[in-house]
């Protein structure tokens, strides 16, 4: 395997040699504490969503661009069978633009649905209104009608994928930031279907925010680790260190070595305890002269989700 020199690390011949000699792990070999996360509000929320989506004219699915396939809930999607759908990849600023374009094309061809990404929101107002009008057009075609008095859209997605933030963009345009939906960096903030919100005057379009719903049982331990690394499942569920270790596997695999410089390492490492120990010392996360590994893991994950370790997708595509 050829590894390119990482310009983020100290620019010295010795460091370059260490990077060129570094071999990432072939498999993550990380065991999470738990392999599922399906709180009670998800079960009740899913049942109500299944009932209410019968009146939906269009479903807007939001997926995390860093895990575009893992962040799709096929169980919930079965409830939308037959309904017009639009898919949006959120947090696209954390992924390389060329990779976003490639994934959009793959999903659009495979599922025969329009796919957008938040990377296209340079002219945000025009983008949002165009997207909704596309949904209205799909709803009209589906119902063999020219127009309706109003349209109802549902926003769907797993926890912490950006549903409430997405709706707030429309709220800003319509009513100058009044009644904004609550958003937070942790998953599980929205626990019930929101009241109907008007997001467009012409045509009249109303939208519902829905609680993030995961699969009742994940396909594999890797699934929940990906979700935890990206903040879609609390990292306390898998274990903070385990989630950080899984993230480290992908950072090394994708040759994103900026974490090493930010941790004070001379070169990349496959050893998560070593990385977190260096990181803890760099950030003064110490107690009685010893590094606080768990706290360092939490900081490590936060910095990744801010995009400070580089633009990366935690999946092969």
CATH label of the domain that carries residue 282: 1.10.1580.10
Cβ neighbourhood burial of 176 (10 Å; 0-12, 13-18, 19+): exposed
Q: Is the pLDDT of residue 12 over 60?
A: no
Q: Is the pLDDT of residue 15 over 60?
A: no
pTM for the model: 0.84
Distance CA(268)–CA(266), nearest Å, equals 7
> Three-class SS of residue 202?
coil
Percentage of the chain lying above the pLDDT 70 cut: 80
pLDDT in tens, 218-272: 889 999 999 999 999 999 999 999 999 999 999 999 999 999 999 999 999 999 9
Q: Which of 149, 178, 209 is at the close of a domain? A: 209
Is pLDDT larger for residue 281 or for residue 211? 281
Predicted confidence band of residue 176 (pLDDT cuts 50, 70, 90)? very low
> Could you tell me if 173 and 153 lie in one domain?
yes
Q: Is the pLDDT of residue 208 over 50?
A: yes
CB 125 within 8 A of CB 179: no
**Is residue 94 one of the residues assigned to a domain?**
yes
> Three-class SS of residue 82?
coil
Q: What is the mean pLDDT of residues 100-124?
A: 81
Predicted confidence band of residue 131 (pLDDT cuts 50, 70, 90)? confident
Distance CA(134)–CA(151), nearest Å, equals 12
**CATH number of the domain that 177 lies in?**
3.40.50.300
For residue 264 the two structure tokens come to 């004070």
Closest alpha carbon to 58 in 78, 87, 33, 35 = 87
Distance CA(167)–CA(248), nearest Å, equals 33
* Highest mean pLDDT pick, 14-23, 156-165, 201-210, 285-294: 285-294
Instruction: Provide the residue range defining the domain that includes 234.
Output: 13-34+218-305
Q: How many helices (H) and strands (E) does the chain have?
A: 12, 8
């Amino acid at each position: 395997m050829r590894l390119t020199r990482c310009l983020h690390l100290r620019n010295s011949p010795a460091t370059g040699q260490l990077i060129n000699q570094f071999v990432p792990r072939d498999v993550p070999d990380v065991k999470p504490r738990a392999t599922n996360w399906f709180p009670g509000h998800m079960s009740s929320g899913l049942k109500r969503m299944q009932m209410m989506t019968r009146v939906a004219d269009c479903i807007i699915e939001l997926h995390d661009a860093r895990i575009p396939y893992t962040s799709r809930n096929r169980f919930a999607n079965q409830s939308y069978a037959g309904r017009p759908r639009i898919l949006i990849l959120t947090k696209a600023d954390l992924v390389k633009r060329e990779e976003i374009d490639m994934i959009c094309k793959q999903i659009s061809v495979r599922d025969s649905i329009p796919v957008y990404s938040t990377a296209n929101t340079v002219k945000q107002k025009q983008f949002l209104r165009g997207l909704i009008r596309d949904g209205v057009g799909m709803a009209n075609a589906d119902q063999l009608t020219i127009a309706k008095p109003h349209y109802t859209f549902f926003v769907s997605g797993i926890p912490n994928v950006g549903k409430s933030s997405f709706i707030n963009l429309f709220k800003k345009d319509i009513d100058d930031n009044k009644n904004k939906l609550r958003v937070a960096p942790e998953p599980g903030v929205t626990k019930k279907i929101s009241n109907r919100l008007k997001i467009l005057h012409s045509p009249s379009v109303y939208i519902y925010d829905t609680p993030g719903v995961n699969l009742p049982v994940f396909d594999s331990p890797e699934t929940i680790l990906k979700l935890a690394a990206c903040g879609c499942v609390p990292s306390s569920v898998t274990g903070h260190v385990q989630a950080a270790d899984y993230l480290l596997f992908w950072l090394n695999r994708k040759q994103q070595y900026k974490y090493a410089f930010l941790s004070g390492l001379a070169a990349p490492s496959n050893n998560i305890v070593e990385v977190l120990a260096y990181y803890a010392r760099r950030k003064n996360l110490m107690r009685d002269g010893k590094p606080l590994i768990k706290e360092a893991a939490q900081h490590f994950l936060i910095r990744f989700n801010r995009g400070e370790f580089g633009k990366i997708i935690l999946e092969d595509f």
